[in-house]
Amino acid sequence: MVHMTSTPPRWAVSAAHLCTLVTLPTGIWRLLLATGHTVGYTDAGYAAMDFTGWGAGYVLGLSVLSEAVALLTLGLVRPWGEVLPHWIPRLGGRSLPRLAVVVPAALGALVLTVLWTPLVAWWALPHPDLTTNGSAVVGLLYLPLVAWGPLLGAVTVSYHRRRVGGKQAAASVITP
């Protein structure tokens, strides 16, 4: 039976859970848009965005995908991020290669940081499709996403250090 190399620090567990929470405000906002609520858009702006049909499916899919990707961060602090669960046919119980987890997580952290950091300038840009209050609210709903990349990066570094540290400790026991 394979166990985690070490227990993740409390801060890493908290940061992983925060990753799942920072996507919720925008996801809920998009779900409201998909169900016909203008939530901050002017009537003309809402009509131009066409949140009906495929547009509704797109914002719904984007919300589900964002949350699913954020939930993957929990694998960096849970056993299933190191060893595949036994219920997975043929692969269950196998250890995940460290780099197969660290590389995509690190790239994801980089992409998310580059993607969302410009949101700190949200209020400096005009948003003609949004009402004045809508622009302020949307800015506040999207602002937590600025933390997503750095949080994922920190949890990824913690995961990497635990996995490398565990291998080094095991190697020192095996070799004199």
Yes or no: say if 171 and 20 are a contact pair by the CB < 8 Å rule. no
**In this predicted structure, which of 4-8, 28-32, 69-73, 112-116 has the lowest mean pLDDT?**
4-8
pLDDT higher than threshold 90 for residue 91: no
Q: What is the pTM of this model?
A: 0.87
For residue 143, pLDDT beyond 50? yes
How far is residue 120's CA from residue 168's CA, in Å, rounded to a whole number?
41
10 Å CB burial of residue 149 (0-12, 13-18, 19+) is buried
pLDDT grade for 5, boundaries at 50, 70 and 90: low
Task: Out of 18-32, 35-49, 73-87, 155-169, pick the least confident.
Answer: 155-169
State the pLDDT at residue 170. 42
pLDDT value at position 145?
Answer: 97
